């Protein structure tokens, strides 16, 4: 597969064609929302903001919606259960490498021996057109997590070279899609330019982890009793914002809702998160993480140890969304890990 270069004008035409023909499904793109950015359906290429820093919510919401009905049922003499599996063919444009790494973690968690049909029917049909993040937000630390760049998980990856985009082709699906656009083959000089643009972007990250990411599990092994967790959690509101905006938070709660006629109902799942007070409550009334410092510590272990050990992907991709969302200014894993290293 040959990497390409496309002019900004031709990229706009390519996106407009995708929107018009729906050849790759419904086109979702990164757009401005007030003075922030978010993913949403694109009406025209003019709405695309590939120069963004971070989206309010990660694109995982298209494969794992905030709330999703998973089955309908009827009770009575002839009870009935009908599973509901939402399918959707989407082309998502403008996904940053760290969010792609988040999706790869989702693939691992929701895959395995018994893959989640609701997730994979959407995920497997999706085309992902990524874009390198050249303007990281001030709370991001993807460069020190090694997630500012990815060489997997996308069909096409765009890098802004000024007047043109470098197009890294990741899959044959992406290759045939970009084959429909007016492009030219990338030369070694174009590749060199792309690599320089990426290196320059790396220097713009303001937050850094003061260790290699693979040292985090060992650090956590040695700091379970640390006062850092209690001190940090002292001002936590248990609002759950940090987990709701996170591209690597995979948890959900399942609820049954019976209609008022008491004859039928539906079961749905919706996002849940370990920083919420009731997350670890069980039917008999006990709460395994009743205190906020326990929840705070659990989140740091989950990101930095449990997920890394179980799956091959990091449990934090350094996007900085949690730090932006946290009113108490305590949610950044990088800050906690750096502090743990300092006081150890
Ligand atoms: S923990 Fe925070 S910085 Fe890490 S991936 Fe989640 S939202 Fe991003
Ligand atoms: S760490 Fe911050 S965002 Fe997360 S629950 Fe506590 S106050 Fe809310």
- Per residue in 139-153, pLDDT tens? 999 999 999 999 999
Residue 207 lies inside a defined structural domain of this protein: no
Q: Which of 330, 333, 336 to mutate to test the pocket of ligand 1 (most atoms within 8 A of CB)?
A: 333
The 3-state DSSP class for residue 40 equals strand
Q: Is the CB of 69 under 6 A from ligand 2?
A: no
Kindly give the residue spans of alpha helices, DSSP state H, lying in the chain.
8-21, 97-110, 117-123, 142-145, 172-178, 188-202, 216-221, 227-233, 241-244, 292-301, 307-310, 321-325, 333-343
The count of domains in the chain is 2
Nearest protein Cα to ligand 2, atom 2: 326
Residues 220 and 180 in one domain: no
Beta-ladder partners of 71: 83, 267
Q: What angle do CA 38, 46, 186 make, to 5 degrees?
A: 95
Residue 48 lies inside a defined structural domain of this protein: yes
DSSP 24: T
Tokens of 324: 């932006």
Nearest protein Cα to ligand 1, atom 8: 319
Residues 198 and 219 in one domain: no
Residues 93 and 137 in one domain: yes
The 3-state DSSP class for residue 210 equals coil
Residue 283 lies inside a defined structural domain of this protein: yes
The pLDDT value recorded for residue 152 is 97
The pLDDT value recorded for residue 343 is 87
Residues 231 and 274 in one domain: yes
Q: Which of 239, 245, 292, 323 to mutate to test the pocket of ligand 2 (most atoms within 8 A of CB)?
A: 239
Contact 304, 333 (CB under 8 A): yes
Q: Is the CB of 90 under 6 A from ligand 2?
A: no
The pLDDT value recorded for residue 86 is 80
Residues 185 and 230 in one domain: no
Residue 315 lies inside a defined structural domain of this protein: yes
Please identify, among 177, 202, 227, the residue that sits at the C-terminal boundary of a domain: 202
Contact 167, 157 (CB under 8 A): yes
Looking at all shown ligands, the one closest to residue 295's CA atom is 2
What is the spatial distance between Cα 91 and Cα 89, in angstroms, rounded to a whole number?
A: 7
The pLDDT value recorded for residue 26 is 96
Looking at all shown ligands, the one closest to residue 98's CA atom is 1
Residue 208 lies inside a defined structural domain of this protein: no
* Residue 179: alpha-carbon gap to chain centroid: 28
Contact 90, 126 (CB under 8 A): yes
Residues 166 and 191 in one domain: yes
Distance 216 CA to ligand 1 centre (A): 15
Cα separation of the two ends of the chain: 49
Residues 147 and 49 in one domain: yes
Give the binding-site residues of ligand 1, using a 6 Å CB cut-off: 245-248, 303, 316-322, 333
Q: Which of 61, 141, 247, 304 to mutate to test the pocket of ligand 1 (most atoms within 8 A of CB)?
A: 247
Residues 77 and 14 in one domain: yes
Residues 187 and 238 in one domain: no
Neighbours of 109 (CB within 10 A): 17
Contact 126, 63 (CB under 8 A): yes
The pLDDT value recorded for residue 62 is 97
What pTM does this model have? 0.96
Residues 257 and 180 in one domain: no
* Nearest CA-CA partner of 186 in 156, 215, 209, 212: 156
Looking at all shown ligands, the one closest to residue 322's CA atom is 1
Residues 319 and 280 in one domain: yes
Residues 154 and 251 in one domain: no
Residues 192-205 pLDDT 10s = 999 999 999 999 99
The pLDDT value recorded for residue 1 is 83
Domain range for 37: 4-202
Q: Is the CB of 238 under 6 A from ligand 2?
A: yes
The 3-state DSSP class for residue 322 equals helix
Low-confidence ranges of the chain (pLDDT < 50): none
Looking at all shown ligands, the one closest to residue 246's CA atom is 1
């Amino acid at each position: 597969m040959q990497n390409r270069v496309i002019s900004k004008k031709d990229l706009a035409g390519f996106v407009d064609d995708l929107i018009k023909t729906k050849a790759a499904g419904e086109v979702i793109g990164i757009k401005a929302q007030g003075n922030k950015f978010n993913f949403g359906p694109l009406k025209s290429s003019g709405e695309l903001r590939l120069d963004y820093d971070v989206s309010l919510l990660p694109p995982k919401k298209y494969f794992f919606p905030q709330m999703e009905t998973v089955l309908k049922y009827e009770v009575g003499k002839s009870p009935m259960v009908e599973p509901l599996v939402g399918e959707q063919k989407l082309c998502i444009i403008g996904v940053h490498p760290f969010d792609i790494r988040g999706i790869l973690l989702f693939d691992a968690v929701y895959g395995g021996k018994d893959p989640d049909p609701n997730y994979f029917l959407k995920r497997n049909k999706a085309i992902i057109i990524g874009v390198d993040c050249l303007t990281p937000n001030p709370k991001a630390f993807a460069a020190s997590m090694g997630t500012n760049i990815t060489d997997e998980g996308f069909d096409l990856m765009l890098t802004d070279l000024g007047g043109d985009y470098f197009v890294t082709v990741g899959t044959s699906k992406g290759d045939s899609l970009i084959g429909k656009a007016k492009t030219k083959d990338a030369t070694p000089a174009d590749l060199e330019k792309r690599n320089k643009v990426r290196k320059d972007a790396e220097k713009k990250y303001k937050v850094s982890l003061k260790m290699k990411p693979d040292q985090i599990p060992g650090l956590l092994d040695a700091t379970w009793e640390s006062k850092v967790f209690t001190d940090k959690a002292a001002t936590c509101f248990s609002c759950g914002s940090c987990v709701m905006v996170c591209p690597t938070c995979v948890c959900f709660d399942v609820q049954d809702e019976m209609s008022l006629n008491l004859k039928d109902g539906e079961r749905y799942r919706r996002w849940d998160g370990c920083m919420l007070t009731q997350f670890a409550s069980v039917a008999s009334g006990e709460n395994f993480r009743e205190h906020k410092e326990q929840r705070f510590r659990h989140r740091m272990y989950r990101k930095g140890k449990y997920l890394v050990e179980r799956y091959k992907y990091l449990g934090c991709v350094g996007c900085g969304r949690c730090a932006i969302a946290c009113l108490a200014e305590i949610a950044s894993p990088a800050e906690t890990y750096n502090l743990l290293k300092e006081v150890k």
